[in-house]
A and B are shown apart, each in its own frame.
Chain A
Amino acid sequence: KAGVTQTPRYLIKTRGQQVTLSCSPISGHRSVSWYQQTPGQGLQFLFEYFSETQRNKGNFPGRFSGRQFSNSRSEMNVSTLELGDSALYLCASSAGTSGSSEQFFGPGTRLTVL
């Protein structure tokens, strides 16, 4: 079974631009979660989608948004980029309908904002 894939792996943007990151979950998985990893704040939960609906949300500003498609693929979008948005963005997928199902992580997208 193929693992979680994320595209692109690396991205460089400038302040004020917007960016869209993509995540393809493991086949059959219906839940996709997004996390931001920075040296200062560590790993922080952004949001989770299940069957195209946002099921849970972290404490991030409205500039961070996401969506999930009928094939469970998910995208997250960050608008009006700030320098502090530079981070590794990790996507995780899980199989079950309960929130406690084991999550499998992708390799991440490293975003650099200049």
Chain B
Amino acid sequence: GNSVTQMEGPVTLSEEAFLTINCTYTATGYPSLFWYVQYPGEGLQLLLKATKADDKGSNKGFEATYRKETTSFHLEKGSVQVSDSAVYFCALLYSSASKIIFGSGTRLSIRP
């Protein structure tokens, strides 16, 4: 079946460090891929998305590239800030369906 696997957390980094959160997926066909972020006590916010192979999604300094050959969509940021502390979810969505399949989430904590 379709699934999303992302790196276990928590991840703790110092401010201005480089961030990578790994995400791989199992799916048939060509799903759209997303990264969502959840700040404490809030719902999910779409961080970025990519709808086809080799697309790069970017927002607020975060980037992720849709790699069909490695079925991956790793999240990166060059210099993290304390305000980036949150839980990050990788997810996929098929055009023929309306349900999002989420990874288990990765908690990120940034030390000042």
Contacts and interface: CB of A to CB of B under 8 A. Distances in A.
Interface of A: 4, 31, 33, 35, 42-43, 45, 48, 50, 55-56, 58, 90, 92, 94, 98-100, 102-108
B98 A102 contact: no
Interface of B: 32, 36, 42-46, 49, 89, 93-105
Contacts of A31: 98
Nearest to B104: A42
A103 B100 contact: yes
A66 B104 CA distance: 25
B43 A90 contact: yes
B95 A100 contact: yes
DSSP majority for the A interface? strand
DSSP majority for the B interface? loop
Which of A43, A94, A106, A107 neighbours the largest number of chain B CB atoms within 10 Å of its CB?
A43
B89 A43 contact: yes
Contacts of A48: 98-99
A42 B33 CA distance: 18
Given A105-B43, A106-B43, A107-B42, A98 B95 contact: yes
26 contacts: A31-B98, A33-B100, A42-B105, A43-B100, A45-B100, A45-B101, A50-B98, A56-B97, A56-B99, A90-B43, A94-B98, A99-B93, A99-B95, A99-B96, A99-B97, A99-B98, A100-B32, A100-B94, A100-B95, A102-B46, A102-B49, A105-B43, A105-B45, A107-B43, A108-B42, A108-B43
